[in-house]
Chains A and B, each alone.
Chain A
Amino acid sequence: MNMKNMYKGFAIIAAVLAVVSCEKFLERPTEDGYNVDNFYKNDLQCEQGVNYLYNSPWYDFQRGFIKIGEVMSGNMYWGDSPYLSFTTNGTDVDLVNMSYSLWAVNGHANTVIHNIQNAKGPSEAAKRKYIGEALVWKAFAYFFMVRTFGAVPIIHDNSELLSSGGYNSVKKVDREGVYEYIIYTIETAMNMLPKQTSGWNQRIDYYGAEALLAKVYLTKAGLSGQLSNDDLTKAAQYAKDVIDHSGRTLTPVFSDVFRLAPSVYNATGESLISWQWTVTGEQWTRQNTLQSDLAMVGFDENGDVWGGWGGPSVDLQEAFGVKPTDDPALRIAEKDTRRKATMMMPGDVYDYFWTDKGGFDFLRFIYDKDDYGAGGPGGHMQCQTGANNVKHLYGDNADHKAAVGVPAARMANQLPTHLIRLSDVYLMYAEAKFLTNGADEALLYVNKVRERAGADQLDAITYDDIWKERRLELAGEGDRWYDYVRRSYYDMQYCIDELKSQHRSTYYGLDDLYMGYYETEVWNKKHQLDNVGYPGINVDNPNVTASSFQLPFPTEDVVFNGNMASDAVPEHVENIREAYPYNF
């Protein structure tokens, strides 16, 4: 082609392109994915639009969930954590991330509800079902917030607040208002959710919402400083409805509740509301990361585990009636299966972890440092409370693959995190009944929980029994601190005293004792026990005060909105349901 022809070619191209409609040329919505306008067109898309509320926005709450729920409550030891020493401040990264996460849940739920409500195409039934699920998650986020931070603002509709321009001047709403908003939200959801009574799946249904409602009423009961009989009655009534009509039963084997495969952990519908993590895909926040923070180095193959230095506290061990200085042989007679399913101690072997290597042997892993335990703690135990965590652990890649077909990846596993289980509902019911003169019912249901766990039946019951039973049943599940929070509403001094009297610190000398036991298979052969002690320094008798039961709302928002300052007076809203109506 000579130059002149080439030039002619140019001229033609130029002319053609100049004529092409510019508007058409410039109209470019997202090409490789859906957008709000072409999605939510059918029932399946509504379901897919809600699925991520079960995992992603909750991701950054995982650390706060453990640190507040377990470390602060004295169930778990965690080195220099400010949650152990009650020195958490408003810039603490875990607290800030927790707050981000909970608000993200609310923001996403509001947006998805708005999108589905305005969708044309899906059936009305599907729209109601999925809006209902989103509402429960929203309520749950607020439930965590009000119990953690106290008064918080109510963000009812993000886009409306944005367009009104008032987003930097909202005020915190007092706790009464927030509780009322939570109840209203759950009640609205219950009107929309189906009642599933068989074929358990992992989604929230009417009874999941009702179980949450029972918990909200039980929590709120003492808010005024005195227990409200009305609230307790409602809590008992809702809990009983779940127990009687949901068709769900307790999973026969306690440890099965915490396994990976849905057919195992949810065979009887015990889990009512859970975070549903996955390893599929690459998107960060899709996955469970707790094993990294809670297991010993080398527990899995992905080089992503560092949590062995913390573990179940001495205080929790004592609640289970065990001590790090006990001869493991004594535990042969141990009846309560929950201890082993919560904490690993000398002598413990788990057949459900490391299935490809014949099970997981706690001491062998620590002390057989060149072979079985290669890459592990390397011959020295890490957590000086003498125990390590079990709940939230999935095992190694083979365990993961056996249960769900795919291996875990770096900081990513699929183990669901249960937020409300049926045994929790039993215990809620027991507590609400006990406090409203229903000790017999209370005894019955506490014993049902104990029966499944293998623990001895109680003959009579006290409030302290229920209080302790909750701890044993739910230890490690991020809930204990909130028991203190609700009790502190009406019985502050008890909570302060109990937290101050806990054994939150570590032992010395256990490593030699356990190493000797591993090597000789004889307990205390060389009298290592003589060199074991519990000094109780550092974190015992922490500085717990009334203000400890409300964590500081992250301080960064003060830059935007002075009403978020720690000393700002919250607003009291007379009629929450009128101020923040749902129109479904």
Chain B
Amino acid sequence: MKQKFVTFMLALLATTALFAQNKVTGNVSDAQGPAIGVSVVEKGTNNGVITDIDGNYAITVKPGATLVFSSIGYATQEIAVGSQKVIDVVLSEDTEFLDEVVVVGYGTMKKSDLAGASVSMKEDAIKGSIITNIDQSLQGRAAGVTAVQTSGAPGSSSSIRVRGQATINANAEPLYVIDGVIMQGGGNSGADFGLGDALGNGKVSTISPLSTINPADIVSMEILKDASATAIYGAQGANGVVLITTKRGKAGDAKFTYDGLFAIARQTKRLDMMNLRDYAAYYNDLIAQGVFGTENALYADPSILGKGTNWQDEIFRTALQHQHQISAQGGTDKVQYYVSGSYMNQEGTIIGSNFRRFSVRTNLDAQLKKWLKLGLNVTYANTKDDLKLADSNEGLIYYSLTTLPDIPVYDVYGNYSSTVREGYTSPNPVALAMLNERRLDRQKLTGNIYAEVTPIKHLVWRSELGFDISGSKATRYEPMVDLGGWKRTQNAMRSQKNSNYFWQLKNYITYSNTFGKHSFSAMLGQELWESRWDYLSGATTDLPSDDVHNVSLGDSNSAKVGSGYGSAAMASFFTRETYNYDDRYLLTYTYRYDGSSNFGPKNRWAGFHSFALAWKFSNEKFFEAAKSVVNSGKLRFGWGQTGNANIGAYAWGSALSSMPSALGVGYRPANIPNESIRWEKQQQFNVGLDLSFLESKINLTVDAYYKRSDDMLMGMQLPSYMGTQGNGSSALAAPKGNYGSIENKGFEITLDTHPISTSSFSWDSNLQFSFNRNKLLGLDGTSNAALVGYGQWSDVVCVSEIGKPLYNFYGYVVEGVYESYEDIMNSPKPEKFPADGVFDRRNTVWVGDIKYKDINNDGVINEQDRTDIGSPFPLFTFGWTNTFRYKNWDLSIFLNGSYGNKVLNYNALTLTHMNSAWTNQLRSIADRAQLVPIDPDKVYDGTGNMNSWYDDITNVKVANPGTKTPRPTTDDPNDNDRISTRYVEDGSYLRIKNITLGYTLPKSLLQKAKIENVRVYCNIQNLYTFTKYTGYDPEVGASTQDATGLTYGVDNGRYPSPTLYSFGVSFTF
């Protein structure tokens, strides 16, 4: 397209010497007003002009000429001049235009020529959401892509899965390629940046590498889904590829755009926790039942108490966000530029969390010679994150829920208060949020320089040098704290600087030509990249005061230094051939041969093939008759191989890490080596159908796929007796190798319709559904191998069994509670059934305990009765966007949702456990098993340890036998809070994700002020979520707490996504 344009511009310049015969003037406009820069050409000649800023033109033509009005994005019109002197034209938008050219990796293609499965997202869709990170915009917008936000923290990451989870690797995220440069992450976990476990122990954290990219610079994203499309990325393409294209300048006068936005975010949902009155009543009730020992006089009369502290209100706040972007673009026919600068500041809805980003970008293109084009893209970004640990059993959400309402935020002196009771510290979540500092500052300079040479016609050689240089500084500071009940008199600080250098060089030659009905292209290329990283850290304790946070101020005896460095590299060769016969049959073949430094000499190289075939049956003669209804139809078939090498460097050997002891320095083997480790391979079949009805008013795309990953790269899952489990720095890491197979199959429907499109009113609708099923086909080893994922530390919550979907929740099935002694005696025997028949409410099973199901019917309830209790993956996800335009108004409503997924409400485990007086509970425990005496008059004298009816199992029954909430018990001998169906909830939801109402000021009004365009809009994000889920938010992605990375959908206090109300304005002048 660009070349066409350039050719045209050159043509235009050639038309200097002409003889005038007939002058025609007129005005060209579109629905919004005057159309600027529209080319008006006398057909069949080089004679042409372009319209001015008011849309006016004047051209002199020969008699009988025909004028051709054309402009990018509009349907071309031809008008015979005849005797007219004035010709006004209203251009209509070309709906096919947006689909015309898409980036496919190492080149572009016409969308209609694509044989593979990919999906485009244009600027409009990105703009429709108020987002900090581009990955957030993928949610519900692209069929086959599931995007789940890991956290509602500002600038946080999303778990993106293209066509399901296809690898066990923690890094199942797609490959991001920005203007041809592979995006460098710098890490997924807090530990990668030097924050240790401050953000949890998981393989993923809420830190997002993509948050360094300014979404406003992006013009389009292509998500390559099937292997025939991704295979060109070979070894890096197994998880899908997202190609991001940034804005470039267009020839013409400089245009300036200002975009500004102001937003307010808040948490609209609170969990229904007990307030002080509820808590006092609960406490007293438990005293009466002999569960808690000591009465508390303060609680004696709950009715005189207030509501106490609502800790949720204390840690959540109404947060402000504002962002500004200014850009300039323009250029001559030879040189075009796009320059932008942006700043954003986003407060988190949890106090103390904050995200700031500053970025600048310059994109330049220069046509130096007819045969030589050069270009440059450079972007610099600087981000500052104030991070908080929201989830986990040490996170702010957890503490805000469990801290009792009888503790004030501040004591009478205005200091933070806290309370320690029987060894249980309530660490004042507000103090925790405000005092401990966890900061991450990042800088990133990325870009590329390219040269495009056309030595002969039809042949283009492109050379590109890309780079990504980034650095980060992570700071943890733990100040001296005096919370009354808890004190830290020695402060501690740790700081780490990371540097990453990445460069990539690629060269590829493309030849394309057409001979009659045959057109073809062939591309051959080479690529090389290297990535180097290093870090240096320092830590000290005992800084003289908390005023200056500098590691070197601490006690030098306590100083610790850390350092490390390493590198990775890849070398590749690739080719792609396409063939098009008569615009009816399309054929694509790609091959890539990759070598990765992650593998040992034996298995370093691997090749990946793919084929795709498409049949545009609507261009067949026999289809002519149907064309009035189906104006376009294409059937696609693709097969391809891709790979995955994401295992980290040197997994084929065994590195030694240092571990000091009192005997001096020590070195420990980090893992068991596996020399034969090799590529993870994936194969995918795809069948797709594209149909357009009624002059493209209705467009339907359906794709079905089957993909299978083999030789899956992962740490081997071994039983604990192999010494490979537990604390990562003490266990012996299991060997990494090729241990499993997974299949994913599914289909995707996109229905894109334009029911109404008149010049004053239009309605566009886009509906998409994605269905995916995955299954673990096998794990190396015996048939009973499985993958185990953990909740907080070492409690098994997810098990992936062979023949079943990944990450199924795993636990016991709850049947109810034991209603009476007889009920216990007549049921299968739980573990704490007393062998000697002597029941004791403190250390044997008791009335009111949970009755678990005896799955294997052996009459005993034990660990073998655990089973699959639900899948965290949805049956389908969907998104529906409706855009309405009426004159200068536009309204967009975007709904998205997920159906059939389960969420493990891990928080509820503590919030309903009723085994301590010192953790606040959900109000829903009001339906707990109420124990009452069968015979209230029975007298006890202390024999057999029986002092009251509640010690006598034969005299206890449950007053509300239908309940599924157990009795309160501080000893919990029956383990009522083990992982069970009690905590597995339906996570289906329908969310009103975005509503945007915009108004564009009429151009007639703006012209006088020389302003081209002004649009004001307001947007509400996450307005409402329809769900049965009882936690904050059913959207829960990968776990940030599980060190194995083998859990999904576990809500361990996830930072909930806020509701965002924003107001924005956009000027172009």
Taking the closest CB of chain B, its distance from the CB of A532, in whole angstroms, is 15
Q: Are B656 and A283 in contact (CB under 8 A)?
A: no
> Digit string of B467-495 for contact with A (CB within 8 Å is 1, else 0)?
00000000000100110111111101000
Residues of A within 8 A of B732 (CB): 104, 107-108, 111, 158
> Chain A residues with Cβ under 8 A from B110's Cβ?
none
Inter-chain contacts of A35 with B (CB < 8 A): 650, 653-656
B721 engages A11 (CB within 8 Å): no
Q: Does A199 contact B (CB under 8 A)?
A: no
A interface residues with partner B (beta carbon < 8 Å): 3-4, 6-7, 10-11, 13-14, 17-18, 22-23, 25-37, 39, 45, 47-52, 54-60, 79-80, 82, 85-87, 89-91, 93, 96-97, 99-101, 103-108, 110-112, 115, 152-153, 155, 158-159, 161-162, 165, 167-170, 202-203, 262, 276-278, 280-286, 297-298, 300-304, 306-310, 374-376, 378, 382, 397, 401, 405-407, 409-410, 414, 416, 537-539, 541-543, 545, 547, 554-562, 564-567
**Residue B216 CB within 8 A of the other chain:** no
Distance to closest chain A CB from B369 (angstroms) = 8
Contact at B724–A107, with CB atoms within 8 Å? yes
- For A27, A167, A538, A562, which residue has the most chain B Cβ atoms within 10 angstroms? A167
For the complex, give the distance between the alpha carbons of A33 and B667 in Å: 10
Given contacts A79-B423, A556-B788, A558-B863, 18 further A-B contacts (CB under 8 A): A11-B463, A14-B505, A18-B526, A30-B655, A35-B650, A56-B668, A91-B795, A153-B721, A158-B732, A278-B662, A282-B560, A283-B659, A301-B488, A303-B486, A378-B485, A557-B720, A562-B784, A562-B864
By the criterion CB–CB under 8 Å, are A54 and B945 in contact? no
B101, chain A: closest CB distance, angstroms: 25
Asked whether B659 lies within 8 Å of A111 as measured between CB atoms, the reply is no
B293, A401: Cβ atoms under 8 Å? no
CB under 8 Å from chain A, chain B span 505-554: 505, 507, 526, 528, 530, 534, 537, 539, 541-542
Q: B723 touches which one: A93, A105, A306, A414 (CB < 8 A)? A: A105
- Taking CB atoms, residues of chain B closer than 8 Å to A410 are 478, 492, 541
A32 to chain B, nearest CB (A): 5
B691 within 8 Å of A (CB atoms):
no
Residues of B within 8 A of A (CB): 293, 366, 368, 372, 374, 420, 422-423, 425, 449, 451, 453, 463, 465, 478, 481-482, 484-490, 492, 505, 507, 526, 528, 530, 534, 537, 539, 541-542, 555, 557-558, 560, 562-571, 595-597, 601, 604, 649-650, 653-669, 672-673, 716-727, 729-732, 735, 781-782, 784-786, 788, 793-796, 799, 810, 831-832, 834-836, 838, 840, 842-844, 862-864, 915-916, 945, 970-973, 975, 978
* Min CB–CB distance A137 → chain B (angstroms): 12
- Please determine whether B555 and A407 come into contact, CB atoms closer than 8 angstroms: yes
Chain B residues, CB < 8 A from A560: 717-719, 784-786, 788
Give B510 Cβ to nearest chain A Cβ, in Å: 16
Q: Is the CB of B604 within 8 A of A557?
A: no
The chain B residue with its CB closest to the CB of A106 is B723
A111-B672, A308-B423, A409-B558 given as contacts; is B786 within 8 A of A52 (CB)? no
Q: How far is the CA of A23 from the CA of B539 in the complex (A)?
A: 39
Question: What is the minimal beta-carbon distance from B508 to any residue of chain A, in angstroms?
Answer: 11
Instruction: Report whether A561 and B784 are in contact in the complex, using a CB–CB cutoff of 8 Å.
Output: yes
Chosen A-B contacts, 6 in total, with CB atoms closer than 8 Å, are A18-B507, A30-B649, A32-B566, A51-B663, A112-B669, A410-B541
Q: Which residues of A contact B667 (CB under 8 A)?
A: 34, 39, 45, 48-49, 51-52
Residues on the A chain within 8 Å of B672, using CB: 111, 158-159, 162
Once the chains bind, are B423 and A310 in contact (CB under 8 Å)?
yes
What are the residues of chain A within 8 A of B565 when measuring CB–CB?
31-32
Are A152 and B842 closer than 8 Å at their CB atoms? no
Closest CB in chain A relative to B133 CB, distance in Å: 31
Assess the A52–B661 pair: CB atoms within 8 A: yes
B415 to chain A, nearest CB (A): 13
Q: Is the CB of A26 within 8 A of B726?
A: no
User: In the bound complex, what is the Cα–Cα distance between A240 and B651 (angstroms)?
Assistant: 49
CA distance A55 to B716 in the complex (A): 25
CA–CA, A28 to B673, complex, Å? 15
Chain A contacts of B970 at CB under 8 A? 80
Least Cβ–Cβ distance between B793 and chain A, in angstroms: 6
When C-beta atoms are compared, the residue in chain A nearest to B783 turns out to be A168
**Neighbour of A89 across the interface among B488, B653, B662, B975, CB < 8 A:** B975
For B788, the chain A residues whose CB sits under 8 A away are 556, 559-560
> What is the CA–CA distance of A27 and B649 in the complex, to the nearest angstrom?
10
B487 touches A36 (CB 8 A): no
- Distance of A397 Cα from B721 Cα, bound (Å): 38
Nearest CB of chain B from residue A6's CB, rounded to whole Å: 7
A555 touches B863 (CB 8 A): yes
- When the two chains form their complex, are residues A87 and B843 in contact, meaning their CB atoms are under 8 A apart? yes
Contacting pair A152 B721 (CB below 8 A): yes
Contact of A277 among B528, B662, B843 (CB under 8 A): B662
A103 contacts B971, C-beta separation under 8 Å = no
Bound-state CA distance A153–B729 (Å) is 24
| A401 and B557 contact, Cβ closer than 8 Å, known pairs A99-B720, A155-B723 | yes
Contact assessment for A28 and B597 in the assembled complex, using a CB-CB cutoff below 8 Å: yes
**B567 adjacent to A167 (CB under 8 Å):** no
**Separation of A513 and B844 alpha carbons in the complex (Å):** 36
Task: Identify which of B465, B488, B731, B973 contacts A100 (C-beta below 8 A).
Answer: B731
Contacts A31-B565, A103-B725, A115-B669: A26 and B596 contacting too (C-beta < 8 A)? yes
- Best-buried of A11, A39, A103, A308 by chain B (most CB within 10 Å): A103
Complex CA gap A86/B732 in Å reads: 31
Q: A36-B654, A405-B557, A560-B718 are in contact. Are A31 and B566 (CB under 8 A)?
A: yes
B490:A301 contact, CB within 8 angstroms: yes
Knowing A56-B661, A282-B562 are in contact, say whether A28-B649 is a contact too (CB < 8 A).
yes
Chain B: minimal CB distance from A201 (Å) = 8
Are the CB atoms of A397 and B542 closer together than 8 Å? yes
Known: A26-B571, A32-B565, A90-B863. A3 touches B366 (CB 8 A): yes
Q: How far is the CA of A165 from the CA of B783 in the complex (A)?
A: 11
Pair B566/A303 contact, Cβ less than 8 Å: no
> Is A93 within 8 A of B721, CB to CB?
no
A167 to B734, CA, bound (A): 12
Q: Which residue of B lies closest to A108 (CB)?
A: B732
Nearest B residue to A168 via CB reads B782
What are the residues of chain B within 8 A of A565 when measuring CB–CB? 862-864
Bound: A506/B713 CA distance, A: 54
Query: B497 to chain A: closest CB distance in Å?
Result: 15
Which of A18, A28, A416, A554 contacts B650 (CB under 8 A)? A28
Given contacts A4-B368, A93-B794, A283-B729, contact A556 B832 (CB under 8 A): no
Collect the chain A residues with CB atoms within 8 Å of residue B569's CB: 25-26, 28
Please name the residue on chain B nearest to A274 by beta carbon: B662
Contact yes or no, B558 A374, CB < 8 A? no
Residues of A within 8 A of B717 (CB): 560
Flag if B718 contacts A167 (CB, 8 Å): yes
- B contact residues around A301 at 8 Å (CB): 488-490, 542
A99 and B730 alpha carbons, distance in the complex (Å): 13
- Complex Cα gap A79–B970 (Å): 10
Q: Which residues of A contact B482 (CB under 8 A)?
A: 374-375
Inter-chain contacts of B567 with A (CB < 8 A): 28, 31
Find chain A residues with CB under 8 A from B604 CB. Answer: 23, 26
Contact of A557 with B721 at beta-carbon distance under 8 Å, contacts A36-B673, A302-B488 already known: yes
- Residues of A contacting B488 in the complex (Cβ-Cβ under 8 angstroms): 301-304
Residue pair A545, B971 in contact (C-beta under 8 Å): no
B425, B505, B539, B731 interface centre (most CB from chain A within 10 Å): B731
Chain A residues with CB under 8 A of B601: 23, 27
